[in-house]
Amino acid sequence: MDVCPVGLPDAAVDMVGATCSPLEGPAGTNVNHEGTVFDTELDFTVENATGLGEIRVDVYEVSNGVYVTGASYVNEGFEPGDYTASFSVDTKYIPPTPVDEDPPYWYPGNYSVVYKFCQSMCGSAYPESFPMDFGNATVMFNVTKY
């Protein structure tokens, strides 16, 4: 049986910054309007090697702080060096279905994309789990209309 490697307690990551392109665009309103795809990138530097971990990406509506969508990227760890992680936010219209009753709905306004870098899983109770850089890389985009 393979066992995931446990990270060392001196694991260290520095989130250098995040970018987004484009910075604004319309959201999809129906099946004929695709909306805008906002491509974000996180640049980070691994100072000390990490073990199994998670890069968590959360998108919030700025005006009210409501969580809209997000994703987790599990990784096997990083050796020291410079890296880039990418995440795209697609604002196309998704009609509700029995499987996905509450798809994201993109109201006009500002949205923040917040990256979190954790050793093991973000929010885990295991002693080897801890945030290495938490929310220091945030980028914003603007939905102009729907």
- The structural domains of the chain, with segments of one domain joined by +, span 12-143
Which is it for strands 24-25 and 130-143: parallel, antiparallel or unpaired? parallel
pLDDT value of residue 62:
94
Per-residue pLDDT, 135: 57
Among all chains, which residue has been given the structure tokens 């109201």?
Answer: 107
Q: What is the model's pLDDT at position 34?
A: 83
* pLDDT value, residue 6: 67
pLDDT of residue 118: 85
Cβ–Cβ under 8 Å, residues 29 and 93? yes
Architecture of domain 12-143: Distorted Sandwich (2.70)
Please give the pLDDT value at position 102: 72
Under 8 Å CB-to-CB from 114, ≥6 apart: which residues?
57, 58, 59, 60, 135, 137, 138
Question: Looking up tokens 């939905």, which residue turns up?
Answer: 143
User: Residue 39's closest CA among 14, 56, 64, 22?
Assistant: 22
The parts of the chain modelled with pLDDT lower than 70 are 1-7, 31-32, 100-101, 130-136, 146
Q: How far apart are CA 18 and CA 98, in angstroms?
A: 35
The tokens describing 102, both together, are 């509450």
Q: Does 104 sit behind a cis peptide bond, omega within 30 degrees of 0 on the bond before it?
A: no
